[in-house]
Chain A
Amino acid sequence: MKKIKMRHKRWDGVQIVATVLLLIFSGLILIPFWNAVVISLESARAYSLHPFSFLPAEFTLDNYKEMFEKGGGLLLAYQGTLITTFFGTAAGMTVSVLGAYAFSRQFPGKKLFFRVMLFTMFFGGGLVPTYLLYRNLGLLNTYAGVIIVSLVSVYNIIIMKNGFEGTPMELQEAAMIDGANDLVIFGRVMLPLQKPLIATFTLFSMVGYWNNWYWPMLMLTKGNKNVLQLFLRGVVNGTILGNTSGASMAAEQQWFPQGVKMASVFMVMLPIMLVYPFLQKYFTRGILLGAVKA
């Protein structure tokens, strides 16, 4: 009897307000996304008749076709993003995980090395000296430059170091007694035990490179290399599709700029949309690991 009553316990005012507000927030986030997807799937005529429709009034894939033809750079941009994301994450994670491992152990001069690393978190050369350095090293207009400039996050190394420090010392000592050196301990003990932590930061790194636009914008100026975010900026600013102010549809204009723009947006965020709901818990773990220390 009591159980049934519990289940039908009426929500109190605060619970109702909380639920309603959260539903409103979710709606405010979802509607612009939905609107963008709908526009990318409809024709210019349908858009001009019902700009704010729940489903595409005249379903068409023309915008996507147009995007591939007119903005021919999409494939190049996908290529650039895949290259920088893959190699950037692989190289960056190798450097970071090795560094975090070393800092989780004891060795002479550790404090000094750590401070040298920490200092870069607070102070840097700034935009101009950094840009000049990459120019002098011939790293402009290369994917290597794009990868190197955001290779490592010191903050993430520190969080990983803290995680590694939580590995039971007995396991490491047991391996040491067996005659394993520090590299073997890293491979046999640390890597297998800290897989979830490393997976989390690998994801962060991948998303970081996927969303990378600032340094690519400064570096990839010749047009023979590109990344997705930059391609999207080009589409929206009209440098890739030609002048596309608003959705002004002149009679001779056969295509639908707004639709093509939203098709591009969709193509750029699609991979993240696909993986995010399944990997959410890994992402959440990352921020919480940082929070424990803060």
Chain B
Amino acid sequence: MKKKNLMQEIWKARYLYLCLIPLFVWLVIFQYGPMYGVILAFKKYSAKLGIWGSQWVGLSNFKRIFMTPIATKAIVNTLQISISRLVWEFPMGILVAILLTEMPGKRGKKVIQTVLTFPHFLSWVVVACILRNFLGSDGAVNVLFEQLGLDTVNFLGSERLFRPLLYATANWKEMGWSAIIYMAAIAGIDPTLYEAAECDGASRLKRIWHITLPGIRTTIAIMFILAVGGIMSAGFDQIFNMNNAMVADTARILDIYVYDLTFKSVPDYGFTTAVGMFTAVINLVMLLGANQVVYRLTGEKMFR
């Protein structure tokens, strides 16, 4: 009897299943399909034998990650860059949001917000071109330095400057965009709080410190944890487009390493798949962990 009911329910929802068909065809072939290839991480790939026929080698590909100095260096680079991004890039969105909120004048604010968010919509290919032109050895900045009698600086080819340049240019591209979410949170703060504080003679700085920041702390927490969840992805697009031979060692994060292994040398697909899987699994663990922390903090789960 119950079975019949279920069949009826399914029949009633037939058009909804129809709506899902294109999506699940895509998901199964193009998302789950490659997951089957993940078994390569436990194999020694041979083109002749194919993915399935290749010989199983257990965990030896994963062991090799930790025995290969260049791979362990890539892990260290990834973590260093990701953590530095949390320090140098994460607060910028909050800062810009507060500045925009405090800036008087509606129209000017709007223009500035348009300018600050615009670079987000350009690819790193375009942005890297523009910045290379601007900061290059005969670019505008160095010409200015020369005219001022200063030494020219090789911004793009210096190991010492490459990482700070990453953080600065990522802020250049994204700070306006990441501010939007905080501005929405600030707009949701009860305005009577500010009025009361003003009556009590609280200065503007004090109001920012005691009302604005506490008012958006949930948003800050969620964004921070999301950022932590992506710790093994240190910004492939940006680094790939700003990379050059002079900074290759300091720029080689895991994603770049996998790319180089796959497309620049005789590929060992088993090993490169293992490195890719290692990255994906750590990201997954970090994200699920982050989800739990958010749940404890706010009682809301991002993913069910």
Contact = CB atoms under 8 A, between A and B. Distances in A.
> Is chain B a partner of chain A in the same complex?
yes
Interface in B1-55: 6, 9-10, 13, 15-20, 22-24, 26-27, 30-38, 40, 51
A148 B26 CA distance: 8
Contact of A129 (B35, B180, B284): B35
A261 B17 contact: no
B112 interface: yes
B233 interface: no
B295 interface: no
A103 to B, nearest CB: 8
Interface residues on B, range: 35 or more
Contacts of B94: none
Contacts of B219: 291
A30 B181 contact: no
14 contacts: A19-B108, A23-B112, A29-B116, A36-B134, A127-B276, A128-B37, A128-B267, A129-B34, A129-B35, A129-B40, A258-B138, A269-B126, A283-B121, A287-B180
Contacts of A182: 13, 15-16, 19
A124 B140 contact: no
A276 B121 contact: yes
A246 B138 contact: yes
A288 interface: yes
A52 interface: yes
- What 10 A-B pairs come out closest when comparing CB atoms? A129-B37, A125-B34, A126-B276, A107-B13, A99-B23, A211-B123, A182-B15, A102-B19, A129-B34, A120-B31
A125 B37 contact: yes
Nearest to A129: B37
Interface in B263-279: 263, 267, 269, 272-273, 276-277, 279
Given A29-B119, A107-B13, A128-B262, A52 B130 contact: no
Interface in A37-68: 39, 51-52
B258 interface: yes
Among B16, B99, B108, find the residue whose CB has the most chain A CB atoms closer than 10 A: B16
B144 A133 contact: no
A274 B226 CA distance: 32
